[in-house]
């Protein structure tokens, strides 16, 4: 077949139908063997649990072509663990970890010609997801489920380089104090849609959410964890039971400690501290790190010292180191890089 003839350097961050996707069905208390299929359509009952009561969760990771030509993905075991946590909270059956990782490998290998070449700035986005598929009219968990993995080639999240963004402190809450903020449930993202559209209308790139109980501590944005850098070079990340445990953040924390010899603090961050940090950024699968240049807290503007022109030096080094590990330019910690094809 050979590599697809795409303009790899100018791909959008969007969906494109690829050759194969993985599907497995849960019925009568067990998962079937699963299969790869060409069909990208889904047929479910009009009363399916996912449609009536939003019983669904998902994951996101990427496959890359490394410097030496291998196709790899990054820490899929952690995606399997996090999805298991999401399923348990939503009363959904857990798809076994070993099968999850193998399915990721199989679907990437089946779409190997869609994996962008090294140096293009593009990657193959991998989206595992699960939902209740049988009819449910009373408020209860479904009895049947579908686990699927789709892949799509995507361009870099930021066109024209990583530029600092402006965010606002939100008046709305992302999650309830003892709710589902720490799992990757579809309903969390549905709740944030109105607020992100409103933020964009008013010129902000994202909403920065505070803790739902007291509105005193910084938590995360609608789709990413937050990083702070202090004047004395420490990396600080907010700690809370209602924050999604980002795999990118956890990886950056380890990179900071083990590769850059930085001191790292994972602790509650009071919003009054925002003016004291010299660099601020968002982190996640899509962009790795997105720098923040300005935070607007109602009638008060906090200008981050690193400015609105470029990513700050500490976050830049963190980003370069992690992407270097992902792309095979820097030796990875044991178990971080999963080889799919050589």
Average pLDDT, the chain: 96
Task: Kindly compute the dihedral angle of the four CA atoms of residues 174, 179, 181, 186, in this order, to the nearest 10 degrees.
Answer: -90
- The Cα-based distances of 190 to 121, 186, 187, 194, 195 in angstroms read 29, 6, 5, 8, 10
Residues forming the active site: 184
Task: Report pLDDT for 94.
Answer: 98
Task: Report pLDDT for 148.
Answer: 99
Express each pLDDT in 256-304 by its tens digit. Answer: 999 999 999 999 999 999 999 999 999 999 889 999 999 999 999 999 9
Task: Report pLDDT for 158.
Answer: 67
Helices (H), the chain: 49-53, 76-89, 97-110, 186-201, 247-258, 313-326
d(C-alpha 109, C-alpha 129), whole Å:
18
Give yes or no for a contact between 29 and 37, defined as CB atoms under 8 angstroms apart. no
d(C-alpha 13, C-alpha 62), whole Å:
12
Express each pLDDT in 130-158 by its tens digit. Answer: 999 999 999 999 999 999 999 999 998 76
d(C-alpha 109, C-alpha 73), whole Å:
11
d(C-alpha 147, C-alpha 172), whole Å:
32
Structure tokens at 330: 């820097």
Express each pLDDT in 97-112 by its tens digit. Answer: 999 999 999 999 999 9
Given a cut of 70, is residue 79 above it in pLDDT?
Answer: yes
DSSP 8-class letter at 68 = T
Give the closest residue to 292 by CA, choosing from 162, 105, 114, 158: 162
Instruction: Say which residues have a Cβ less than 8 Å from residue 25's Cβ, sequence separation at least 6.
Output: 31, 32, 133, 144, 145, 146, 147
- The Cα-based distances of 20 to 27, 103, 107, 111, 171 in angstroms read 23, 12, 7, 6, 42
Given a cut of 80, is residue 159 above it in pLDDT?
Answer: no
Task: Report pLDDT for 286.
Answer: 87
Given a cut of 70, is residue 37 above it in pLDDT?
Answer: yes
Q: If pLDDT is split at 50, 70 and 90, which confidence band does 322 have?
A: very high
Given a cut of 80, is residue 161 above it in pLDDT?
Answer: no
Structure tokens at 252: 């950056």
Long-range Cβ contacts of 299-303 (<8 Å, 24+ apart): 302/274, 302/275
Structure tokens at 310: 């470029």
DSSP 8-class letter at 112 = G
pTM above 0.85, yes or no: yes
The backbone torsions φ and ψ at residue 10, rounded to the nearest 5 degrees and listed phi first, read -130, 25
d(C-alpha 54, C-alpha 14), whole Å:
23
Instruction: Say which residues have a Cβ less than 8 Å from residue 284's Cβ, sequence separation at least 6.
Output: 223, 224, 225, 246, 248, 249
Three-state SS for 285? coil
d(C-alpha 277, C-alpha 232), whole Å:
10
Given a cut of 90, is residue 47 above it in pLDDT?
Answer: yes
């Amino acid at each position: 077949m050979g590599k697809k003839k795409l303009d790899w350097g100018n791909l959008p961050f969007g969906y494109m139908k690829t050759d194969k996707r993985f599907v497995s069905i849960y019925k009568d208390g067990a998962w079937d063997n699963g299969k790869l299929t060409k069909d990208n359509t889904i047929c479910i009952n009009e009363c399916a649990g996912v449609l009536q009561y939003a019983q669904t969760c998902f994951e996101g990771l990427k496959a890359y072509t490394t410097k030496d030509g291998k196709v790899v993905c990054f820490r899929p075991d952690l995606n399997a663990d996090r999805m298991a946590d999401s399923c348990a909270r939503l009363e959904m059956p857990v798809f076994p970890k070993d099968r999850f990782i193998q399915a990721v490998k199989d679907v990437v290998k089946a779409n190997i010609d869609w994996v962008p070449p090294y140096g293009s700035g593009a990657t193959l986005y991998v989206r595992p997801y699960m939902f209740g598929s049988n009819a449910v009219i009373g408020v209860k968990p479904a009895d049947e489920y579908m686990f699927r993995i789709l892949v799509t080639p995507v361009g870099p999240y930021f066109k024209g380089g990583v530029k600092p963004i402006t965010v606002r402190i939100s008046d709305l809450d992302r999650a309830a104090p003892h709710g589902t903020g720490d799992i990757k449930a579809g309903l969390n993202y549905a709740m944030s849609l109105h607020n992100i559209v409103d933020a964009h209308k008013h010129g902000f790139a994202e909403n920065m959410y505070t803790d739902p109980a007291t509105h005193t501590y910084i938590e995360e944005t609608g789709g990413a964890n937050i990083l702070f850098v202090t004047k004395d070079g420490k990396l600080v990340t907010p700690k809370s039971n209602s924050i999604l445990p980002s795999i990118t953040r956890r990886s950056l924390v380890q990179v900071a400690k083990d590769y850059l010899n930085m001191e790292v603090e994972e602790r509650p961050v009071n919003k009054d501290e925002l003016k004291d940090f010299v660099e601020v950024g968002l982190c996640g699968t899509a962009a790795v790190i997105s720098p923040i240049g300005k935070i607007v807290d109602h009638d008060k503007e906090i200008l981050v010292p690193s400015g609105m022109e470029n990513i700050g030096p500490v976050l830049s080094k963190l980003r370069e180191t992690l992407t270097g590990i992902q792309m095979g330019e820097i030796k990875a910690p044991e178990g971080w890089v999963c080889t799919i094809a050589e």
